[in-house]
Amino acid sequence: YTYENLIVEIENKIALVTLNRPQALNALNKNLLEDLSHFFDEALVDDSIRVVILTGSGEKSFVAGADIKEFASFDGKQGEQLAAKGQQDVFDKVEKFTKPVIAAVNGFALGGGLELAMASHFRIASKNAKLGLPEVTLGLIPGYGGTQRLPKLIGKGRAMQAIMTAEMFSADRAYEIGLVNEVVEQTELINRVKEIATKITQNSSVAIRHAITAINASDKEIGFDIEIKSFGNLFDEDDFKEGTTAFVEKRKPNFK
């Protein structure tokens, strides 16, 4: 299997996985999601991997979201399918992965990008990172678990404000509110995350597997279903056309 948009480097039981579409700030298109889905299936049964690190290629972006150009012409059914399939194939798989998954957030983590970082077990950011869920600027809501995972991580009120305003958190602010665990210089980011990963590889992998399952146990499932349905329904609204068209035309949306 050759990955189209992923670079996978395995060393000392640590898989460094780089999402590699720098021309689109590593936006999640169909290929990249398929690559990720495939990677996690393989990594689960690969004994040479004990910890996974996810990061973005380039110095500017972790992941700038789902690929807006790819879904701009979708209808409600396709929208719902996009969210449901992505959650099943990638985001749920990441969260429930029984080996630690660490997001090394090296720049923009927006929309589906922040959602991928939040599905990961914890996050370390570089100083230039900017994190947010800007979906409402497109006439959408988060569709890869953001409505469920953001309030869990930073509290309901902060999540409400972040999703309604679409504002981005700086790395320092993300640290203050517990969205990321540490902030380091960009040049140090991968080294620091590898250092943490190395520490993890020295601990009992069977114990860690059980810890992940226990920590994850909760009742978010209904919320995920509501999120997926709402995400799909929004594709049939005029605001979605206006929001995505404005993005492609590089102008501000004019919502009625």
Smallest Cα–Cα separation from 250: which of 68, 85, 74? 68
56 near ligand HXC, judged by CB under 6 A: no
Q: In sequence order, which residues have a C-beta less than 8 Å from that of residue 63 and are 6 or more positions away? A: 19, 25, 26, 27, 28, 56, 108, 109, 110, 112, 113, 116, 117
- Number of chain residues interacting with ligand HXC (CB under 6 A): 23
* Token reading at 129: 């990172």
4, 34, 59, 115: the catalytic one is 115
| Interatomic CA distance for residues 65 and 50, integer angstroms | 27
Name the residue type at position 99.
K
DSSP code for 77: H
In this chain, which of 101, 110, 117, 154 binds ligand HXC, going by CB under 6 A? 110
Query: What is the pattern of x (binds ligand HXC, CB under 6 A) and - over residues 1-30?
Result: -----------------------xx-x---
Q: Is position 135 annotated as part of the catalytic site?
A: yes
Binding test (CB under 6 A) with ligand HXC, winner from 9, 69, 165, 185: 69
Asked if 68 is part of the footprint of ligand HXC (rule: CB under 6 A), the reply reads: yes
The answer to whether residue 82 forms part of the interface with ligand HXC (CB under 6 A) is yes
Site for ligand HXC in 115-144 (CB under 6 A): 134-135, 138, 142-144
2 C-beta neighbours (distance < 10 Å), count: 5
Question: Catalytic: 115?
Answer: yes
Q: Which residues make up the interface to ligand HXC (CB under 6 A)?
A: 24-25, 27, 64-69, 82-83, 86, 108, 110-112, 134-135, 138, 142-144, 231
